[in-house]
Amino acid sequence: MNVDLNQVEDNETPALSRYRELSPRWRSVMALLTTAATLLAINQIFGLDFLVGYTLLDSRYLYLITGIMLIMVFITFPATPHSRESVPWYDLLIMATIALIFGYFAWQAERIVLEAWEFVAPPVGIVLALITWPIILEGGRRAGGVPIFLIVTVLSLYPTYSHLLPDVVAGIGLPLDDVAIFHVLGEESLFGLPMQAFALLVFGFLLFGVSLQYTGGGPFFIHFAFALLGHMRGGPAKVAIFSSGLLGSMSGGPVTNVLTTGPLTIPAMRRTGFSRHYAAGVEACASTGGVLMPPIMGATAFVMASFIGVSYVTVAVTAIVPSLLYFFGLFVQIDAYAAKHELKGLPKEELPRVGQVMREGWYFLAVFFLLLWMLVYLQQEATAPFYATALLLIINQFTPHKLSWNGFLQLVAATGRLMAELAGILAAIGLIVGALAVTGMAGTLANDLVYLAGDNVVVLLIMGAVTSFVLGIGMTVTAAYIFLAIILAPALINAGLNPLASHMFIMYWGMLSFITPPVALSAFAAASVAQASPMRVGLESMRLGAIIYFIPFFFVFNPAMLLQGTAAEILPVLVTAVIGVTLVSGALQGYLIGFGSLGAGVPGILIRGLIAVGGLVFAVPGGGLLGLSQLWLAVVACGLSACGIGLALLQRRSATTA
């Protein structure tokens, strides 16, 4: 199981097949653009003034960095699979156009602000905005795919036809020219909250995540997990939970995470007796759940903090209990499955030793703790990842596994790809924000949803869950969250729900499409690694991750599950939630830890159903919207669970007698 900690995983995976294969010259161009964007971000975020002698206007900085990122999008992503070998002439023309337009906007940044070009622009501003609009749409298509392109195109044009629609979805109609300048020259569309969060907050965390991977952080966490858990029953599957959860938190990309850790964890699970589809399902659920796990939660936590107007630490603390409950449920299911099928762990002599792993990779934990200290104690959310990245790269050069020059170039290339992909998607998604803002529809949609639900919060939540799931299909987690935060979150808040709980609700349901058929991107990626049936893996992922379908409703019913409230309110909710998740997980696997098998055949289905329902009732938090006491729920849950266990005992006794 020993792998060189400095080894960088092979990045020529299926996930990267949509990237263009760049020649050495274009790789150099990408490296220069990535470096320029990084220096711009450092100059602006730290206020160093080392580029021009004074701090750039935020608008000028946004024009410059967005222009650089859009150029990188058209270098990185081909228009069609047939243009992957080289950069065609039309992409060169688009890149030159971007450079000229965004260079002009950056030069005129003060005039654009002072003269309010977003409402009344000169002819040159109108023409350039009309040219920029389709470029952004095409950049979104290449970076995010056809679903994002179609949704953004229809909704970005919404102000031009909104006055023709029925009253319930009608808005203020505007000419095409006015819509274009609002999108491109205003502060609420292209350069609205999504792009501002990316350029001023998320940028450093992308750099940190890629640096951690390319300095050996991925192998270190995997080896650390194998050293701690690999010998336990079902050990490799538990390793997948630990390692994929940590890496998923930093990368924010479930599919990428599956393809990074899956080639190590899935074969190890297969070796100890897990079936192909079960091993792939475990990896898919663990990698997807990493997006929910503090401290980093991909990029979504920082965007959420900007939307709600709270600190990042508040969002991270809020996410602790739901994410731990999800991973706890996954852990209990795996343990039950391993116990039921008598699956042992890997031999200790084949596993790395904790001491050896720590000696070779201690600095990863040191850097991680520095990041946490700066985020939580110093509250330096924008600058913390830059310090952590710098410390990581410096320490790494004094270790036997120091990053080579070739490795550094790979790091820069991966950083550029990731930044271009996220920036291309967020720039396009920003047009939706602008379209709803300029027509005044953002608030109207929220009120309409509340009206359609008939002031019934449960109906509204179910509508919200379905909407979030559908709109999350085909989008990255961050893009799906932003889209839903604009359309759906205000409706939930207007219905009287806790703002943090509302935003967490849509984030959870927006990412469930990664493990839920018919899409199940994470499950299908894991199936390709395990060489298993994609649909079977998707169904197994649904069962393993079943608790995640209920957790969002629980914390909306009572935000105590989000650590919102007093200790007396929070503690009972947490205790009963842990008991409930344990029962539900045992019922799903047909094996309850400490009790044994829950029977077979029709009686077994009835037994498992009673225990599963009892577990859900246990996990539901009392108080809050439900108005039911925790004690009453616990009594009902005990009754249901006792009936199930009693029937299991009777069946077991009958089998023994026979």
CA 511, CA 267: separation in Å to the nearest integer? 26
Centre a 10 Å sphere on the Cβ of residue 476 and count the other Cβ atoms it contains.
Answer: 30
User: Which residue type does 278 have?
Assistant: Y
Two tokens at 547? 């608790």
Name the range with the highest mean pLDDT among 184-193, 214-223, 468-477: 184-193
CA 259, CA 514: separation in Å to the nearest integer? 14
Residue 11 — pLDDT band, cuts 50, 70, 90? very low
Q: Kindly tell me if the per-residue pLDDT of 1 is higher than 60.
A: no
- Give the distance from CA 38 to its chain's centroid: 23
CA 419, CA 206: separation in Å to the nearest integer? 7
Name the range with the highest mean pLDDT among 149-158, 368-377, 440-449, 478-487: 149-158
Tens-place pLDDT, residues 595-644: 888 877 788 889 999 999 999 999 988 876 777 788 888 899 999 999 99
**Does residue 520 fall inside a structural domain?**
no
Q: Are 391 and 152 in contact (CB under 8 A)?
A: no
Average pLDDT, the chain: 84
Residue after which a domain boundary falls, among 164, 195, 226: 195
Residue 375 pLDDT: 81
Residue 67 pLDDT: 95
**Does residue 602 fall inside a structural domain?**
yes
Name the range with the highest mean pLDDT among 225-239, 274-288, 643-657: 274-288
Two tokens at 563? 């650590």
- CA dist 268 to 199, 337, 583, 628, Å? 40, 16, 28, 46
Q: Which residue has the higher pLDDT, 256 or 44?
A: 44
Q: Kindly tell me if the per-residue pLDDT of 82 is higher than 80.
A: no
**Does residue 359 fall inside a structural domain?**
no
Centre a 10 Å sphere on the Cβ of residue 547 and count the other Cβ atoms it contains.
Answer: 26
CA 460, CA 469: separation in Å to the nearest integer? 14
What integer is the mean pLDDT of 185-210?
A: 84
Q: Which residue has the higher pLDDT, 641 or 253?
A: 641
Q: Kindly tell me if the per-residue pLDDT of 14 is higher than 50.
A: no
Tens-place pLDDT, residues 271-319: 888 899 999 999 999 888 888 887 767 667 778 888 888 887 888 889 8
Q: Kindly tell me if the per-residue pLDDT of 101 is higher than 90.
A: yes
Show the domain range for 613: 575-658
SS3 of residue 286 by DSSP:
helix
Residue 100 pLDDT: 96
- When divided into structural domains, the chain yields a total of 2
Q: Kindly tell me if the per-residue pLDDT of 4 is higher than 60.
A: no
Residue 2 pLDDT: 43
**Does residue 524 fall inside a structural domain?**
no
Q: Which has the closest alpha carbon to 205: 294, 289, 144?
A: 294
Residue 197 — pLDDT band, cuts 50, 70, 90? confident
Q: Which residue has the higher pLDDT, 67 or 368?
A: 67
Residue after which a domain boundary falls, among 175, 195, 215: 195
Burial 384-409 (b: 16+ CB within 10 A, else e): bbbbbbeebbebbeebebebeeebbb
Least-confidence region, from 396-405, 583-592, 619-628: 619-628
**Does residue 649 fall inside a structural domain?**
yes
Residue 6 pLDDT: 38
Q: Which has the closest alpha carbon to 105: 200, 186, 188?
A: 186
CA 536, CA 336: separation in Å to the nearest integer? 20
Residue 90 pLDDT: 92
Least-confidence region, from 8-22, 550-564, 582-596, 606-620: 8-22
What integer is the mean pLDDT of 377-392?
A: 86
Residue 126 — pLDDT band, cuts 50, 70, 90? very high
What integer is the mean pLDDT of 82-92?
A: 83
Name the range with the highest mean pLDDT among 95-99, 572-576, 600-604: 95-99
CA 235, CA 69: separation in Å to the nearest integer? 42
Residue 53 pLDDT: 59
Least-confidence region, from 242-251, 372-381, 476-485, 585-594: 242-251
Report the predicted TM-score, pTM, of the whole model to 2 decimal places.
Answer: 0.80
Residue 439 pLDDT: 83
Please count the residues of the chain. 658
Q: Kindly tell me if the per-residue pLDDT of 69 is higher than 90.
A: yes
Residue 193 pLDDT: 79
**Does residue 347 fall inside a structural domain?**
no
Report percent pLDDT > 70 for the chain.
92
Q: Which residue has the higher pLDDT, 436 or 607?
A: 607
Residue after which a domain boundary falls, among 146, 169, 195: 195
Q: Kindly tell me if the per-residue pLDDT of 343 is higher than 90.
A: no
**Does residue 599 fall inside a structural domain?**
yes
Residue 34 pLDDT: 93
**Does residue 61 fall inside a structural domain?**
yes
